[in-house]
Amino acid sequence: MCPGVNSVNKKRIMKEKDKLDENMKANLENGSAEYSAENIQVLEGLEAVRKRPAMFIGDISTKGLHHLVYEVIDNSIDEALVGYCDQIDLVINENNTVTVTDNGRGIPTDIHEKEQRSALEVVMTVLHAGGKFDKDSYKVSGGLHGVGVSCVNALSKNLRAEVHRGGQVYLQEYERGKPMADVKSIGKTDKTGTIITFDPDDTIFITTDFNFEILASRLRELAYLNKGIHLGITDMREKEENGNGNGNGKFRSEKFYSERGLSEFVELLDANRERLTEKIIQIETEKNDVPVEIALQYNTSFSENVHSYVNNINTIEGGTHLAGFRRGLTRTLKSYAEKSGMLAKMKFDISGDDFREGLTAVISVKVQEPQFEGQTKTKLGNSEVMGAVDQAISANLAHYLEENPKDARTIVQKVILAATARHAARKARELVQRKNVLSGAGLPGKLADCAEKDPANSELYLVEGDSAGGTAKQGRDRHFQAIMPLRGKILNVEKAMQHKIFENEEIKNIFIALGVTIGTEEDSKALNLEGLRYHKIIIMTDADVDGSHITTLIMTFFFRYMTELIQEGYLYIATPPFYLIKKGKFEKYCWTEEEREQTVKELSKGGSESGIHIQRYKGLGEMNAEQLWETTMNPENRTLRQVTIESAAEADRIFSMLMGDDVPPRREFIETHAKYANIDV
């Protein structure tokens, strides 16, 4: 999924607890297929979940809502990881409830010795209760928060758990986490598996509207990370057009299955890029009891696209597995390049960044007890994993380079070109960073700064064009709102070398205005946010095709060169109205086509429409300063859409497709999503 848009400012607050009750460990041999009530370990209850849901699922908006689905799917994936499940189906029902079905062993239903009730009820009603806490039942398990399906139960108005196991169909239903009755047998079956249907509690969640694209993207990702598993999603709320221009076709659905795993993932990510090497290097091994999978390929682009996962979790902040990969890749490639004599004429050093320019790679490791760190708890801290990944990439890459000398030479030539360009980029970057932005000296001439000096209370509007910029300057609150007009369309960074990017006047001005610096000795692309002057950076463009294109160009720049700003929640998109409806003294702004139609319908009751005046705002400049403030800039009235990254890999794929040279996939994407946009061609 591409950077998502969320209207709620949020910070994910997570704590993963690990209080294993040693007395409850099952007396099973390693590798045993037994899975019963004895394997279910109880850690703590559900009391705090409904009171402070954000502590357990991240937030109570779109991200938290979809996290409920991920928790249920993670249970099914855990069954697949130990070889007992190969089919997982997700259905968004017509009433906006969700059903997840798998063909695993089924949650145990026999009596739990300590709790003296069905193990199914324990799993569904006790936080941190489940087989994944018993290493004999699951070697590794997915899921970041580790709260399990009981958290989903606690945050649902209703939940229905149906288990097919031992020839019987068992059922238990719940309201807001509490069982309505004991587990009971409702029939016979020749299948095994679990079916969970839940209805999120709308008294807790800001939105309960599930997004098909977000869920489909996660299933696609899981299919590549867990080859051999069939995953499907169906949306019963929406029928696809059947060719007659109406929505009476089949329900919208997608199926995902990967035979080769990560190599197919890399193919997908690089679908819109020109390959530099024909073969994808695929590694599947185990080092120091850590299963490691890696797939990588070089292309002609100028960006590094490396995505790392631990137990199916996208570690967006990296960690020890990514560090091990980079170390092994750099050392192995540098050793080969030196032995080949291709570096003999180089007049300056080659850095680790140079070996990763134009590299697309996916790293996936399985860790029994992952330790997560970082701002969003998605940075792996296990030290033993670094050596495992380093060894895996070093041995296999060295073998590949010896076996494929033509590809090896092509890669080294790309590295040399990258080093040369980086040397030029450093000079351009130093020109950007030479001025003392903290003191305000050397700020861009077009920047109308604000009086507030505290970044937490300051906003910067990046506005399309001088005309709209002038209106915004007149309409703003000068105390905390800064305005910087951008001239035309900024450089498409997806297709530009780094030194060209830093030489671009508009991009140079954005860096200087924000007060950030880029590049360290270790990582030339690392962003330093210490001097950041605004904690809200708001893209404000016209509501037409050109405005949407400019927004995409700016977002591409931030995603490729200022990802940290997005991760910290600092990037937003303004939403100016599309229409102003007038009738007599009545005035109303409308932000959607549906809102316009409804307003006109209400105003024309008992009469005609010749007295209703509809003004379509295609450009920000069509509004006066007072209107722009009232609708788009006033914190009391405005709606800001926060840019988030649900999946870095999906964002990478979509940006390369939207901003690349390959037209057909871009046209298909726009046609598919046109109904979600409100822009005039």
**What are the catalytic residues?**
464, 542, 544, 546
Q: Which two tokens stand for residue 19?
A: 């209080």
> Hey, is 557 helix, strand or coil?
helix
User: Is 648:314 a contact under the CB 8 Å cutoff?
Assistant: yes
Q: Which two tokens stand for residue 199?
A: 């209805």
Q: Which of 103, 117, 59 is nearest to 191 (CA)?
A: 103
Contacts of 226 (CB under 8 A, 6+ apart): 77, 80, 81, 261, 312
> Hey, is 25 helix, strand or coil?
coil
Length of the chain equals 681
Question: What one-character-per-residue DSSP string does 401-449 give?
Answer: HHH-HHHHHHHHHHHHHHHHHHHHHHHHHHHHHSS-GGGTTT--TT-B-
Q: Which two tokens stand for residue 248?
A: 């009476």
Could you give the CA distance from residue 578 to residue 176 in angstroms, rounded to a whole number? 40
579-583 and 613-616 as β-strands: parallel, antiparallel, unpaired? antiparallel
Q: Which of 366, 389, 396, 395 is nearest to 280 (CA)?
A: 396
Could you give the CA distance from residue 254 to residue 479 in angstroms, rounded to a whole number? 50
User: Is 379:318 a contact under the CB 8 Å cutoff?
Assistant: yes
CA 107-109-111 angle, 5° bins: 135
User: Is 422:304 a contact under the CB 8 Å cutoff?
Assistant: no
H helices of 544-662, in order, are 545-561, 563-567, 593-603, 625-628, 648-659
Q: How far is CA 76 from CA 226, 231, 599, in A?
A: 12, 11, 46
| Neighbouring-strand partners of residue 174 | 159, 179
CA 159-160-161 angle, 5° bins: 120
Q: E strands, 177-322, where? A: 178-179, 184-188, 193-200, 230-239, 251-256, 281-287, 290-298, 305-310, 313-314
User: Is 300:359 a contact under the CB 8 Å cutoff?
Assistant: no
Alpha carbon of residue 582 to chain centroid? 41
Query: φ and ψ at 308, to 5 degrees?
Result: -120, 145
Count of other CB atoms within 10 angstroms of residue 62:
24
Q: Which two tokens stand for residue 401?
A: 């380079």
